[in-house]
């Protein structure tokens, strides 16, 4: 269920307060949460959920999750993060996890974007196209 317009607007204002130099600041988020505890705003739970949603979206825009089937060096992870930082025009941090289901190759998730170059992905696209 979508939040009412007033809650969305208030959450966006609180979210704007949480940004420092275009990135979510943990100190500012802590300040917003302290404000929540102190004032206990009307429809506070719905407001907090909408604020949380906005913060999660922004944090996910700066994190790259790299799944790989085989060994992946730290240099490769750093190179991928550097490339994505240039492509998106913002600092990107990358974390790598092994996923043997990929068979071979990598899959990179950043926000809603997925970059995949794996055998499992190619086999899946072949099975969908048939």
Domain boundary among 20, 37, 60: 60
pLDDT of residue 112: 84
Reported as a single tens digit per residue, the pLDDT across 9-53 is 999 999 999 998 878 889 999 999 999 889 888 888 899 999 999
Q: Evaluate whether 76 touches 41 at the Cβ level (below 8 Å).
A: no
Q: Which two tokens stand for residue 3?
A: 């939040």
Residues 74 and 106 in one domain: yes
Residues 54 and 82 in one domain: no
For residues 74-93, average pLDDT: 88
Residues 27 and 81 in one domain: no
Distance CA 85, CA 41 (A): 38
Total domains, the chain: 2
pLDDT of residue 111: 83
The pTM score is: 0.69
pLDDT of residue 55: 93
Residues 68 and 124 in one domain: yes
Checking if the pLDDT of 118 tops 80, the result is: no
Distance CA 82, CA 98 (A): 20
Output the CA–CA distances (angstroms, integers) from residue 108 to 53, 86, 126, in the order listed: 22, 15, 20
Domain boundary among 16, 37, 60: 60
Residues 100 and 119 in one domain: yes
For residues 78-85, average pLDDT: 90
Domain that holds residue 119: 64-129
The whole-chain average pLDDT of the chain stands at 85
- Rounded to the nearest 10°, the torsion over CA 97, 27, 10, 62 is -30
Residues 74 and 39 in one domain: no
Query: What share of the chain in percent tops pLDDT 90?
Result: 25
Residues 103 and 52 in one domain: no
Residues 55 and 101 in one domain: no
């Amino acid at each position: 269920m979508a939040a009412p317009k007033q809650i969305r607007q208030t959450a966006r204002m609180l979210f704007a307060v949480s940004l420092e130099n275009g990135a979510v600041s943990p100190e500012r988020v802590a300040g917003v949460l302290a404000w929540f505890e102190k004032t206990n705003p009307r429809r506070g739970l719905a407001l907090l959920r909408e604020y949380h949603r906005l913060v999660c979206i922004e944090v996910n825009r700066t994190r790259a999750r790299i799944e790989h089937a085989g060994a992946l060096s730290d240099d490769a992870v750093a190179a991928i993060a550097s490339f994505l930082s240039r492509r998106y025009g913002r600092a990107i941090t990358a974390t790598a996890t092994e996923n043997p289901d990929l068979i071979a190759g990598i899959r990179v998730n950043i926000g809603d974007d997925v970059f995949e170059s794996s055998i499992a992905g190619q086999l899946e696209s072949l099975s969908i196209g048939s």
